[in-house]
Amino acid sequence: MKATVLVRPKPGILDPQGQAVQRSLQQLGFPVQEARIGRVVDLELDLGDAQRTRAELERMCEQLLANPLIESYEISVTSE
Amino acid sequence: MSEHARPRIAIVVFPGSNDDRDAALAFESLGAEPVLVWHAEPELPDVGAVVLPGGFSYGDYLRCGAIARFAPVMGAVRRFADEGGLVLGICNGFQVLCEAGLLPGALRPNKSLSFICRDVSLRVERADTPFTTRTEAGQSLTIPIKHGEGCYFADDELLAELESDGRIVLRYEDNPNGSIADIAGVANRDGNVFGLMPHPEHAVDPLLGSSDGVLVLGSLVDAARERLLTTA
């Protein structure tokens, strides 16, 4: 089974990387008001059913993949 | 045992720690006996204090300190802290303590995105912690920073709690990295765990430009010695 975890800085958290990218995009002529930079974690795992996979991914996010104080996360189980 | 007793201080060495030896030299010069402890050790030796030094543990992968917090020795560090043991985290060590939940808050990339390596001025907010007894409240200390991710973050609720509990021990006089409320160092609720981004171990000799780091590390040596004498 494959899964993807998206980790984002929470709203209100200073994201200097995103700010630098937003400014660069503006300099290139793209009218971008805001850019926020997060992280993608692609995983391959074998936990049987999708429900259990999702529950385990939640635990992975809480324990390691995201820092809940500053980051939010989104889980998608992409293929069987 | 005399007041000259040499308290043993554990310095945890993670893969990627690089200030462990500087910390050991500094503590040795201050009359303590540093004991380097490899991260894979499940237990701590009998020590009066534990220091998590600076560096780039586990390559700073994922988030600074995020992986080091699972090192076998961290279970022992947590038990030591829970029993009231003195724990100091410097720079990467501070990041590890935050990720481990032994200290509140988180450290994010510097506002400037630059790695900053220079002396900074710090204001002592609390001189009554085991890590600052050799200082005075309001005193200005010159101690270097060298980090890319030292921007301290606490949400509104946590920041209000830190302020009202007086757990902000050191603040930057001229905020170099975007830290909220100019926070350079914070303590846990019980006051026995303290973390700071500046490097006191790099400021222990006038030859290094400042010896103000002695005031911080020396306070910890005093506290560790006192505990040694009271339990002897």
Whether B91 is catalytic is: yes
What residue ranges define each of the domains in chain B, with the CATH number in brackets?
A: 8-231 (3.40.50.880)
The band of B227, judged by pLDDT with boundaries at 50, 70 and 90, is confident
pLDDT at B59 over 70: yes
* pTM score, whole prediction: 0.93
In this prediction the ipTM stands at 0.84
Asked if A69 lies within 8 A of B105 by C-beta distance, the reply is yes
* Token pair of B185 as six digits: 């160092």
Higher pLDDT, B57 or B103: B103
Percent of chain A surpassing pLDDT 90: 84
What pLDDT is recorded for position A49?
85
Asked whether the predicted pLDDT for residue A79 surpasses 90, the reply is no
User: Shortest Cα distance from B140 to chain A (angstroms)?
Assistant: 28
| Alpha helix stretches (DSSP H) within chain B | 20-29, 72-82, 92-99, 156-165, 213-231
Contacts of A65 in chain B (CB under 8 A): 62
- Whether A64 and B105 lie within 8 Å, measured CB to CB: no
The amino acid occupying position B166 is G
- Section B6-28 average pLDDT: 96
Residue B1 has pLDDT above 60, yes or no: no
Active site includes B199? yes
Cα torsion angle, A60, A65, A68, A73, sign:
negative
Mutation to test the B interface, candidates A7, A14, A19, most B Cβ within 10 Å: A14
Domain span including residue A42: 2-79
Inform me whether the pLDDT recorded for B97 exceeds 90.
Answer: yes
pLDDT (tens digit per residue) in B186-213: 999 999 999 999 999 999 999 989 999 9
Q: How far is CA A1 from CA A6, B122, B188, in A?
A: 17, 51, 41
CB contact under 8 A, A64 and B110: no
Identify which of A20, A64, A70 has the shortest CB distance to residue B108: A70
What's the structural domain count of chain A?
A: 1
Contacts of B161 in chain A (CB under 8 A): none
Burial pattern B132-148, b for ≥16 Cβ within 10 A else e, equals bbbbeeeeebbbbbbbb
Is the confidence at residue B216, as pLDDT, over 70? yes
Interchain CB contacts (distance < 8 Å): A and B: 33
Q: What is the CATH number of the domain that holds A38?
A: 3.30.1280.10
Say what the pLDDT of residue B168 is: 98
Q: Which residues of A touch B106 (CB under 8 A)?
A: 67, 69-70
Are residues B63 and A17, on separate chains, in Cβ contact within 8 Å? no
